[in-house]
Structures are given as C-alpha cells and as structure tokens.
Amino acid sequence: MTVTNIKRIGVMTSGGDAPGMNACIRAVVRTAAYYNIECYGILHGYQGMIDNKIFKLESNDVANIIQRGGTILKTSRSEQFMTAEGRKIAYDNLTKFGIDGLVLIGGDGTFRGAQVFYDEHKIPSVGIPGTIDKDLAGTDFTIGYDTAINTVIDAIDKIRDTADAHDRMFFVEVMGRDAGFIALSSGISVGAEAVLIPETHTYIDQLISKIENGYRRKKLCHIIVVAEGDDAGGAVKVAELVKEKFDHIETRVSVLGHMQRGGSPSCNDRLLASRLGYASVVALLEGKHNYMVGVINDKIAYTPLSQANKQEPTINDELLKLVEVLST
C-alpha cells in the first residue's frame, strides 16, 4: 500500500441515521489505530465542525457499539455549513486539531457538502453510503438498508395477521421519498397485492381493478405497500381514493415512519459497515480522495463523489414484473 502523509482523520455521521453507522464508526477508528493514524470524532455532522464538537477517539471508545442502532456521533443537517462563512469556521476548527482527512458517513447531501468543502479548503474526504433508502449510485447496498427492509417485513407480517383475521385491506406506508427500493423489496417479500413507488406512475383505476380481481378470487385481505414519495400521494391519500370504490370493506392505514431507521443492525449491515469503514481509511492512505467507497458484486468499489450524486439508481424491471405476477 502506498501511504500518503495523512496523520489525523476525522469521522462523522450526517443526514438521516441508519442502522450500522456505529459498526462503521468502529471500523474507521480501529483501522486508523492499526495504521497509527489518529482519529477524531465529530459530533452532529457538519454542524459539529462549526461548533467545534471534535474529540479524539481511541479503540476502547468504540467497544461494544457494533450491535447498537443510531449513531454515537449523533447526526444533524446544517444550514450554516451551506454558507461559505460556515465552512470557513469548520475548516479553522479542523485545522486546530491538525485533521488532514475526513471520513463522512451519510447520503448525497453529505457528499455534496464534502465536494464544496474540498474545492474551498482542500481537505480530502472519503464518503461512506449510510442511508436506508439505498438510493446512491456506486454501490449495490447502503448501510442500513438491509435492517430497514427486515424491520418493514416484520411489521407487515404482523399487520397481515390482523388483516387476515378481520378480512381487511391495509395500506402500509414505508420510507422512500425519492426511491422505492424499500417498498419494492419488502413488498415482494411479504406477498403484497400491490407496491406503489416514486419511479413508476400510479394509476388508481388499475389498482382498483387489481383489488376487484382479488375479491372475485375470494381473496379477503389485501396489503398495499406505498412508498411515501409515490406520485399518487402517501398511504393515507391512496387509501382515500380506493375507499371511494370499496366503501363496504374495512380499510386501515399504517405509516411505519421512523421505526424503519432504528434497531440493532442486521448481520449484513454490520458486515457491510465494517468493510466500508476499513476501506475508507485505506482509501485516504492510498491517496484516493473525494471518492465514495461502496460494494459492487461483493468487491470494494470507488466512485467519485460527483458521480455518486448525479447518477440515479434505477429500479430493476424484473422486480416490478415479479410484483405483478406473484400477486395474481
């Protein structure tokens, strides 16, 4: 490995929290220790840089956190960092600690901030995809996604029990303002009768027809999974539109909300977080700056932060077809 002159790195979490962030922090800190690099934690993301909430992290400080959800470094979104004045304050604070490299765990907003920060102050960074939405190009999976979909599956399995007991129709809203990966994967896995996502246009009349066909086949309970960003509206709006046709059927809405972000990370998320945390430190040492580290075909991959932002992941058409076929 070709080693650069980086001696001190900072690590932070930013944007929405995701299960597995703590496992990733642990990997960053311990990899840095292995290579004799000092590591500093930054509380509350970019705002913590501005507020000088920076402290040294040793290996012992990250003991017993791999199984914990949330993030010990906390997270937030910083409007102040969006200004040149705020970024200058952040740079000055990092300079006080001699930090010459950053590991940033977050999503596209985090990476956009890193690019601007480098352009102005030349502190190199490596991004790690930490978001339950799995909506970043350059990686097959993001930290938190696997745990989130398993949380959704567990919740909908329980909902189906009561839907079946009462012959009810449930509309379940899951997270996914701009991407339908959570809805699509969990919808297939729970045997949903329909899945509504932002990437495709929702035709209410077709949904009604599908439900009618189900009742003709004596299907007495229905689960409709709705991503929050679906163009027909969230689960509440879609349920209202459908209920106009099926006012004789008991209809319920469940919005799963932020429970999808919480909980102990799955084995897959702990493993992914550990691999990416390690790879991020190695990338900085090897001079791979301003990249996002991800996993593609089970191999570590490096994508420029600009491409991770601009490229939009696409939904697998085969999965869309699978919903249609298996829900008949």
Say which CATH topology domain 145-261 has: Rossmann fold (3.40.50)
Domain residue ranges of the chain, discontinuous segments joined by +: 8-144+265-310, 145-261
Residue-wise pLDDT for 266-298, tens only, equals 999 999 999 999 999 999 999 999 999 999 999
The CA distance from 319 to 151, in Å, is 20
133 counts as catalytic: yes
pLDDT confidence of 310, banded at 50, 70, 90? low
The CA distance from 285 to 280, in Å, is 9
Query: What are the C-alpha distances in Å from 220 to residues 167, 170, 236, 251, 254?
Result: 5, 11, 21, 12, 18
Residue 275 CB coordination number (10 Å): 18
Per-position b or e across 119-135, b if 16+ CB within 10 A of its CB:
eeeebbbbbbbbbbbbb
The CA distance from 108 to 128, in Å, is 10
Strand order in the sheet with 251-255: 194-196, 222-227, 169-174, 251-255
Residue-wise pLDDT for 28-54, tens only, equals 999 999 999 999 999 999 999 999 999
Domain 8-144+265-310 and domain 145-261 have a common topology: yes
Going by the DSSP 8-state scheme, the letter that residue 179 receives in this structure is -
pLDDT confidence of 216, banded at 50, 70, 90? confident
Is residue 193 within 8 Å of residue 228, measured between CB atoms? Answer: no
Please provide the average confidence, as pLDDT, over all residues in the chain: 92
Question: Taking Cα atoms as reference points, which of 134, 237, 224 lies closest to residue 177?
Answer: 134
Which member of 17, 100, 108, 133 is catalytic?
133
Place of tokens 């914990």: 68
Assigned token pair, 136: 């970043």
Secondary structure (3-state) at 169: strand
pLDDT confidence of 218, banded at 50, 70, 90? confident
Is the pLDDT score of 201 beyond 60?
A: yes
Bridge partners (DSSP) of residue 72 are: none
Is residue 156 within 8 Å of residue 172, measured between CB atoms? Answer: yes
Strand order in the sheet with 291-296: 54-57, 38-42, 8-13, 101-106, 125-129, 291-296, 299-304
Residue-wise pLDDT for 139-180, tens only, equals 999 999 999 999 999 999 999 998 888 888 899 999 998 889
- pLDDT recorded at residue 125: 96
CATH class of segment(s) 8-144+265-310: alpha beta
Main-chain phi, psi angles of 246, to 5 degrees: -115, 50
Question: Which value, in Å, is the radius of gyration of the alpha carbons in the chain?
Answer: 22
The CA distance from 120 to 22, in Å, is 29
Beta strands in 194-316 (DSSP E): 194-196, 222-227, 251-255, 291-296, 299-304
Torsion of CA 289, 181, 19, 138, to 10 degrees: -10
